[in-house]
Amino acid sequence: MYFLPEECLFLMSPLQIINHFSIPFRVMEGSTSLGISLPTEEFCVPLDSYRSELRLQPVTEGDDQYDCSEGFSYELVSQQPGARVQQTCHRHGDSAGVLMVNIVPLKDTVTSQHTGMAGEHFDEPYILHLWPSVLLRNLLPYPITYRLQDSEEPTPITLMDGHSAQLHTAIMDQSSLELRLLDYLGQDWQAHYGLCGDLDEITFIVFSSLRDEEEVVRLGERGEGKRAELDIAVHVKYDAGQTEVAIHSPYWMVNKTGRLLQYKADDIHRKHAMDYDMPLLFSFKPHNFLQNNKVRLMISDSDLSDDFSLDTVGSYGEVKCKGRLKDYVIGVKIDASSFSLTRIVSFVPYYLLVNRTKHVIWVGEEGQDDWTEARPQQAAIPFWPERDSKKLKVKVEGSRSTPQTMDFTKPENCLLLHLDNTLGGVIMDVNLSDHSIIIRFSDYHDGAAPFLIINHTQEQTVEFYQSSQKEKDKLSPGKAMYYTWAEPTGSRSLAWQCGSYSGELRSEEDLRLDVNEEGKLYLISFYEGLQRVALFTEDRRIYKLLCESEKAELAEQEIILSLQDVGVSLVNNSSRQEVSFIGITSSDVVWESKPKKKSRWKPLSGKDAELLETHFKEYTESGPVDNAILDLENNFQVSLTHNGQDMRMMQPYDAPIRRSFLPGVKVEYSVSARQSAYRVQINRIQIQNQLPGAIFPYVFYPIKLPKSVTMDSEPKPLTDISIVTRAAGHSDISRIKYFKVLIQEMDLKLDLGFLYAILDLFTPENASVMTSEQQVELFEKDIEYLKTELNDVSATDTSPISLYEYFHISPIKLHLSFSLSSGGEDGNKEKRETEIIPVQSLNLLLKSIGATLTDVQDVVFKLAFFELTFQFRTRQQLQWEVIRHYSKQAIKQMYVLVLGLDVLGNPFGLIRGLSEGVEAFFYEPYQGAIQGPEEFVEGMALGVKALVGGAVGGIAGAASRITGAMAKGVAAMTMDEEYQQKRREAMNKQPSGLREGLTRGGKGLVSGFVSGITGIVTKPIKGAQKEGAAGFFKGVGKGLVGAVARPTGGIIDMASSTFQGIKRAAETSQDVESLRPPRFIHEDGVIRPYKEREGIGSQMLQKIENGRFAKYRYFAHAKVNESDFLMITKRGIFFVTKGTFGQLTCEWQYLFDEFTKEPMIVEGRRLRIEAKERVKSVFHAKEFGKIINFRSPEIAKWVLTKLEDARESLHKY
């Protein structure tokens, strides 16, 4: 038995009603009730009543009874679709009391195109939307009350924070609201607001304090008698149906410092009490509101800070306030609210203590007698250093050990404190971010000790000590001991002595040492799980076994997946348009060699490959039969074969060579007993905008490098990921030995039309409509966010911990172009701007900060690389660190480059002094080097230290990190307080390819002290003028050599294009080619397999005489000769000629209606078209048709078939 799926068929009249009121309405025909339209539900007007005059009557409880409205008909509403039809319901016995109903008629979308001419035989279906005239929203974090003045409401109505209320009896341009803000700063506030229909989008009203008269008089005796006032913003949105009035504050100031804060703006000080947990409602004065406003901060007894902006949502930073006795550093976080109108500005202590252990921990600053208590599982505790010592004393309650001292301004990962044996282990981490330094204490976990020292000798005693200390520990034969640093601020190397032998160990280095090569004592340093083990042994078998375990192993299993090309077509079947085509494509021809003793083919440099390709083409075009040995330039001698097999390089070295290409996607995976290796390479990704009239046809593609770079380097894929993981002894914990990601320079070009089309594609219908319940839920989340504890960011993380020996993601260099035009025709433009939530939020945000988004062209984002060496992280921690690292740079650079706003801190390649250990550098992506897993393992097996950092390798400090050509690109650094960030000039509208300046190659990255970069160079030069060379280095190195406690910032900027006077070279211009024309979708809307011929034909039709025939529907086309085409559309045929410069011209055309006879083929390949006589032809006095000569009978027959199909389909539609 089979059950067919149920299908419901609804038959209804062409008039439906949707009620958006919170009260029901009775729908009346004369004195007869047709039914009740319930809130948010659809009401179907009966078929025999929809052409009658209908009236609405509110259904209310109690004494508030209303009469029916004036009345409306189908004819009235169908004549003004989308317009507002007002109906008024008067209160019983009170002509002044009215309830306003706004009716907005919209055409129903179920209209079928096969019902004949719409409106000719059938009434078009309409939906009537009933809206109240005003919706009042309370977007303040406090309740308000409201009452319509001159209304009979005896008591004001309370509106809770985040909620909204419909004002049924409000009349625009007549009614006025009496508003009261409850219990803000311990008092109530009152204001009046008139409802007008022509106000600006954002206006202000002044709330006055309702403090007792007696108190005002009493304060007046001291000269403070004026009532306090509060500026509150009102956002007015005029929709088709109703006016939405949102009461909000531009800024919520949240004080989490535990101290008194004061904000100075517009010459007014506003105090924020230390114990006031709720937000302070802050605004600049209305006349200054849409300017680039800034605020200054004061904490406790400090002076005012420098001014800073509150508008850069998503950016975090620090603000320094100087005091008489000490300087205060406060972290500032700026977040957007869920409704976009308000910025949530949180002030947090820059230094925070978090205790996640079972013990009470006491913390104090070195040189001070005060101690701060951190209890177990307590919320984060603010820590305010009194001096610039940078040193912290830590003692654990119950431990008899002397307090440990450590540097709290340097990042610290898993530092095990050196305590006595009574308590167990306590680990300290110091995490640095833009707006805070979190000092976290946690309980011991496996691997936390820098060393597990095992003495596996027969009779030798091992002595060991921290190399910066003199006090030695001893370990007897056959014993083992965990060791951690006795002095955390001292050297991180372990000195050891065993008999007459001695040496030093570092926790991040593997060691296989036959001491003095005598075979009497072996020292092996290796990982077991997460624990570093230092094993002293006299047993050669153990030594050999451990050495073997680290050697390169033959893969037990190897999988290689290679895809030449991959294409993804994004089609919106509702609008019947291909929106985008994403192609992952293979490279051009590359030449590879396989040097001796290497298992992998290596690409040759661009210069060598071009030389070989040129001669290979000459050789193959000569029709060779025998192999040829050619002597080329550069002292090359090669043996070429006619079939491309078994070719060799003979000079300057002997190696097989091959002509190949890099596949679009290549994934390699190999696994052995102790090791796994992964390599993922994506050669090129190109995203095309397939919409007609696109402003940027190519949305995303890799930048083509200048020849000065490509000639000397091998071709590189867009993305290259190389990972080597190793089993950590007998543990299941991952140990990532090598993880490197290299991403090449990219170009991203977006226009609004493309963004809208993508949003339409991925956003379900009606997703843009947010219900009032959803709005309240999001508002409540905003309030929850305010109340979260300071350390809530460090929530419980259950993902497993891993050891990352080397983890590096390259810098990201992105060229961004953005256009506010949509290109082509967009009938829904107004709807999109008001209904699509992301667009609406962005518009609101920009309006509320007074910023203007304009077209930008070729703005360059340069995001510094991310690197970890020998760090413990959970997967979740690492993921968030990487996201934050790149997103915070991108957000800040967007504000500076695109919107021209100032941000906290420096958005370009931040380095805040090596004293903190935060080094974020930028290098050109093409200069990055990456090793495949095999090369990395081979290097390890040969005892060669892996080239972990490529062109930017090692950990030797700021200057030495930048090697080779890149060192020339380092501008001057200044690390002192006089450094003031200067806004960079936005490089909008900069024409690409200016010849001035130097090329962008390795040799082209030359930099001088450019006069345009003021404020960066001044300090070293001033120092040199005052104190000579010593002064110069003092100026450059304040903080770099530890002279200053907290240098505020400095720039090492490697990208040549940010220096004035160095422009992009002409040879970097792009040659991007289309992967394929847009998909042609037939009238029935069915998505069929792609046909390139149809795509080319429909594109040609769009371009004939600059779009003259773009409205015609394409059907088929055929080539007549090299320059002529016959184009068949749904209505007729065109004869199209291609000009010398590629322009398409229509020579002649006939509609099918003009045909006098059926088209026929004569003489095999000639198509004869007979049509009505034309007297006023452009080319002839009279003509009765055309004869078209095709190249073959097959083409002629195919065209005739298509003509017949097109004429048949004309009668169908």
Q: What is the CATH number of the domain that holds 1151?
A: 2.30.29.30
Q: Are strands 531-537 and 451-456 parallel, antiparallel or unpaired?
A: parallel
767 and 839 housed in the same domain: yes
910 and 766 housed in the same domain: yes
d(Cα 1107, Cα 1101) in Å, to the nearest integer?
8
339 and 375 housed in the same domain: no
> What pLDDT sits at residue 728?
65
* DSSP SS3 for 678: strand
* Angle in degrees, CA 1206, 1208, 1213, rounded to 5: 90
Q: By C-alpha distance, which of 102, 284, 287 is closest to 200?
A: 287
Residues in the chain predicted with pLDDT less than 70, given as ranges, are 1-7, 62-64, 95, 109-122, 152-153, 212-226, 290-292, 550-553, 597-599, 728-732, 764-769, 789-798, 823-853, 901-921, 936-1070, 1174-1183, 1211-1213
Give domain status of residue 145, yes or no. no
Cβ atoms < 10 Å from Cβ of 132: 22
Give domain status of residue 235, yes or no. no
> What pLDDT sits at residue 647?
85
938 and 847 housed in the same domain: yes
d(Cα 1011, Cα 996) in Å, to the nearest integer?
17
> What pLDDT sits at residue 563?
92
Burial label for 772, CB within 10 Å (0-12, 13-18, 19+), is middle
- The answer to whether residues 242 and 137 touch, using CB atoms and an 8 Å cutoff, is no
At residue 1066, φ and ψ (nearest 5 deg) are -60, -30
Cis peptide before 1020 (omega within 30 of 0): no
Q: Which residues pair with 1139 in a beta bridge?
A: none
d(Cα 363, Cα 818) in Å, to the nearest integer?
51
358 and 344 housed in the same domain: no
Last residue of a domain, one of 443, 461, 492: 443
Give domain status of residue 634, yes or no. yes
- The answer to whether residues 64 and 58 touch, using CB atoms and an 8 Å cutoff, is no
Cα-based torsion angle of the residue sequence 1020, 1024, 1029, 1034 in order, rounded to the nearest 10 degrees: -40
39 and 65 housed in the same domain: yes
Cβ atoms < 10 Å from Cβ of 967: 14
Q: Are strands 126-131 and 15-19 parallel, antiparallel or unpaired?
A: parallel
Those residues whose C-beta lies under 8 Å from the C-beta of residue 278, and which sit 6 or more positions away, are 141, 142, 786
- One-letter amino acid of 287: H
- List the CATH number of the domain containing 635: 3.30.720
- One-letter amino acid of 747: D
Last residue of a domain, one of 112, 131, 150: 131
Domain interval for residue 493: 451-506+511-549
304 and 382 housed in the same domain: no
For the chain, the domain total comes to 7
Give domain status of residue 335, yes or no. yes
- The answer to whether residues 372 and 393 touch, using CB atoms and an 8 Å cutoff, is no
633 and 542 housed in the same domain: no
> What pLDDT sits at residue 1174?
63
Q: How many residues does the chain have?
A: 1213
Give domain status of residue 122, yes or no. yes
At residue 557, φ and ψ (nearest 5 deg) are -145, 140
- The answer to whether residues 374 and 361 touch, using CB atoms and an 8 Å cutoff, is yes
- Report DSSP letters for 173-228, one per residue: TT-EEEEEEEEETTEEEEEEEE--SS--SEEEEEEEE---HHHHHHHHTTT--SPP
434 and 500 housed in the same domain: no
> What pLDDT sits at residue 964?
26
d(Cα 215, Cα 940) in Å, to the nearest integer?
80
Those residues whose C-beta lies under 8 Å from the C-beta of residue 136, and which sit 6 or more positions away, are 146, 159, 164, 165, 166, 167, 177, 245, 247
- Report DSSP letters for 1180-1194, one per residue: -S-EEEEEEE-SSHH
> What pLDDT sits at residue 852?
63
d(Cα 1072, Cα 102) in Å, to the nearest integer?
53
Q: What is the residue whose two structure tokens read 């062409």? A: 14
740 and 706 housed in the same domain: yes
d(Cα 281, Cα 183) in Å, to the nearest integer?
13
Q: What is the residue whose two structure tokens read 């003489």? A: 1163
Those residues whose C-beta lies under 8 Å from the C-beta of residue 885, and which sit 6 or more positions away, are 866, 920
The separation between CA 136 and the C-alpha centre of its own chain, rounded to angstroms, equals 34
1151 and 1169 housed in the same domain: yes
Give domain status of residue 1077, yes or no. no
Give domain status of residue 342, yes or no. yes
Show the beta-strand stretches assigned E in 397-518.
404-407, 412-416, 426-432, 437-443, 451-456, 462-466, 473-475, 480-483, 493-498, 501-506, 511-514
Give domain status of residue 1081, yes or no. no
d(Cα 193, Cα 956) in Å, to the nearest integer?
65
Last residue of a domain, one of 311, 327, 349: 349
Task: Output the six-digit token pair for 1132.
Answer: 């007729």
- The answer to whether residues 435 and 333 touch, using CB atoms and an 8 Å cutoff, is yes
808 and 929 housed in the same domain: yes
Q: By C-alpha distance, which of 580, 581, 554, 556 is closest to 567?
A: 581
pTM value is: 0.76
Q: Are strands 473-475 and 501-506 parallel, antiparallel or unpaired?
A: unpaired
